[in-house]
Structure 1
């Protein structure tokens, strides 16, 4: 009974939040489904109506399964786009792309240094909180290395929200300035929905099964955003293998409404994380986090424009690829604007892998140094 009530409450919240997404989508901005849903869910979360509260807490009663489902759907769509094009892009532009990845990480570390110096947040928490590893990965790393998980989640949420609420509007503006080029891109990058036939439906079922199996494996291997990366890799592997064996690409049946559903699920779950208690006693930290995140986003956008000029990559694709907003959020924007979503996901994944592989040892070193200088540090956390 409790399970049914919880599911019903989740569906009501998602439906109401999705209405905000629908209204914003009427402006003609396709990413409006996610942005509008996110803003509506955040407003509901701030108001904290009794209907949506978990028992004994002030958080919304929405299960994390909806975030995973949104990522899973998006991963299946992205997997259908995987081909050799992204490898050619990396091969042709490996130097500027590699430079931009390292530069974005250094910018994030500079943002963490500013947060540490200008707020009461400790050194370790400041650097972990601003690391561009994604909202799904960094809180777990924070707990592992001994940082304040609550503050890390807050700073990561602030940056993701700022990116999601600014980058889509920025790229939408850039996209509408050159509608002729956008129309050309749309023809080459829109997802094929296929025809509703038995063979196409069968291939769709095979892709979903492959996506589920690979996602389960990614969870066991502790991948960041495992249901997104796992489903994407599973579908991509099946698509490439089948294409090599058959000599042509198999087209699944995939309705356009699936992308809308993924945007609504992602927007509702991200927005529902917001509540007033997150900001109690963190006024200075919040201000510094907002300002430093704004500076990080601005520097990333300007650098992405420079990289686009050097490499010939679309400006919108470059901004989405290098923006520190998380895989799912930037990939959703790329899909709905018909940009090179494969390249966006590839760059976002590579950056997160670099962050997760390189920064935890550095964080542990910071933890050791900070604890040595402040003997009461462990007791205070």
Structure 2
């Protein structure tokens, strides 16, 4: 079956499903916000719509709306690239170089686990084990004969588990001070009327980078395009503002609700079975993340919280929002996730062909 089964139908989202998802997402986000939960709007929206989807209520978020909310996030991320950042980029060399080793370890460990413990076929296990590149892995895995529905569901559940785990686990790290945070919308960004019209004009210009990057087939183009334009304008001193807090909260609600709505049309039995597999894989990948982050922290002196977020096997948009919520170095985290996705998208297909030839020469059955 198609991977589209784990996402909103391509023919469009019914108005009732959209309205339900939006109301539940906003309500769940606001509740978590009032409870001072980290990443409140995204987590609240994600949990509310997930429960609704599993209860077989009609929920759905139009892909176009999610894409443009991701573009808003890209503009926000670009605002973290200040001129003072240029003097520190050289310090990221070892951590960026370590991403290649991280991908190899995660993919190898995940592949072994999914084949031996979960019984996945060779193609499905390979593209499910990749720590990133959701859309690309689903499309490539399906094209090469894998179960694209299982790949999509596995990646969705992994992202959800990582997003649910990290904000709460961070509270155990030294230096995390929830009492010292701004628990208001202004903690997410300025007020709607606080920005001059010039900044709004620049943000509209940055948003134009989304369709351009998508046309150029840039991985995660709806986020990367606006982020690169926003970063360039901020580094050049031509722009100093960032999206209003209300708009950032709305982006969190839409992105969170879209994660939960992916489970609306999936049989509960399949969700339960894949969830058990995803929990094991997530624990495995997060363990590798923690070890790599700790080693790099000892080697480079870079902050451990930022390294954990930079290496965490969650989605680019989702982990960038986590970094924003936890007041980590957003530019550092986003840059590492973009590089990781590009490495996976560029190297995973040729590596798969080489691995398949090697396995066939050893006499392994084609489907295993």
Q: TM-score range by the shorter chain?
A: 0.7 to 0.9
Q: CA offset at residue 280 of structure 1?
A: 3.6
Q: Secondary structure at the match of 2:173?
A: helix
Q: Structure 1 pair 175/202, CA: closer, same or farther in 2 (3 Å)? A: farther
Q: What is aligned with 2:164?
A: 165
2: CA distance between counterparts of 1:5 and 1:157?
A: 19
Question: Which protein is richer in helix relative to its size?
Answer: 1
The 5 A counterparts of 1:270-309 are: 270-275=259-264, 277-278=266-267, 280=269, 286-309=275-298
Q: What is aligned with 1:111?
A: 110
Q: Does 1:361 align with 2:333?
A: no
Normalising by structure 2, we get a TM-score of 0.84
* Structure 1 portions without partners, runs of 5+: 53-59, 244-248
| Equivalent in 18, 25, 39 of residue 33 of structure 2 | 25
Q: CA offset at residue 69 of structure 1?
A: 2.4
| Equivalent in 220, 224, 237 of residue 215 of structure 2 | 220
| Aligned Cα root-mean-square deviation (Å) | 3.2
* Structure 2 portions without partners, runs of 5+: 1-10
Q: What is aligned with 1:236?
A: 231
Single out whichever of 134-143 and 74-83 deviates more from structure 2. 134-143
Q: Structure 1 pair 137/90, CA: closer, same or farther in 2 (3 Å)? A: farther
| Equivalent in 23, 35, 42 of residue 34 of structure 1 | 42
Q: Does 1:193 align with 2:190?
A: yes
Q: Structure 1 pair 23/239, CA: closer, same or farther in 2 (3 Å)? A: same
The 5 A counterparts of 1:70-109 are: 70-84=69-83, 88-109=87-108
2: CA distance between counterparts of 1:104 and 1:4?
A: 35
Contact 1:128–1:152 (Cα < 8 Å) also in 2: yes
Contact 1:74–1:328 (Cα < 8 Å) also in 2: yes
2: CA distance between counterparts of 1:85 and 1:298?
A: 33
Q: CA offset at residue 363 of structure 1?
A: 2.0
Q: CA offset at residue 9 of structure 1?
A: 3.7
Q: CA offset at residue 324 of structure 1?
A: 0.6
**C-alpha deviations, 1:10-67, integer Å up to 9, x for none?**
1332121221121122221240211111011110010112xx2xxxxxxx44321232
Q: CA offset at residue 327 of structure 1?
A: 0.6
Q: What is aligned with 2:200?
A: 204
2: CA distance between counterparts of 1:307 and 1:112?
A: 24
Q: Does 1:314 align with 2:300?
A: no
Q: CA offset at residue 366 of structure 1?
A: 4.3
Q: Does 1:128 align with 2:132?
A: no
1: CA distance between counterparts of 2:340 and 2:199?
A: 32
Q: Structure 1 pair 94/285, CA: closer, same or farther in 2 (3 Å)? A: same
Q: CA offset at residue 178 of structure 1?
A: 4.3
Q: What is aligned with 1:57?
A: none
The 5 A counterparts of 1:9-24 are: 9-24=17-32
2: CA distance between counterparts of 1:15 and 1:289?
A: 28
Question: How many pairs does the alignment contain?
Answer: 354
Q: Secondary structure at the match of 1:339?
A: coil
Q: Structure 1 pair 266/29, CA: closer, same or farther in 2 (3 Å)? A: same
Contact 1:124–1:366 (Cα < 8 Å) also in 2: no
Normalising by structure 1, we get a TM-score of 0.81
Q: CA offset at residue 129 of structure 1?
A: 0.6
Single out whichever of 358-367 and 5-14 deviates more from structure 2. 5-14
2: CA distance between counterparts of 1:157 and 1:170?
A: 20
**C-alpha deviations, 1:266-316, integer Å up to 9, x for none?**
100011112473554686655333212212112312432342343332222
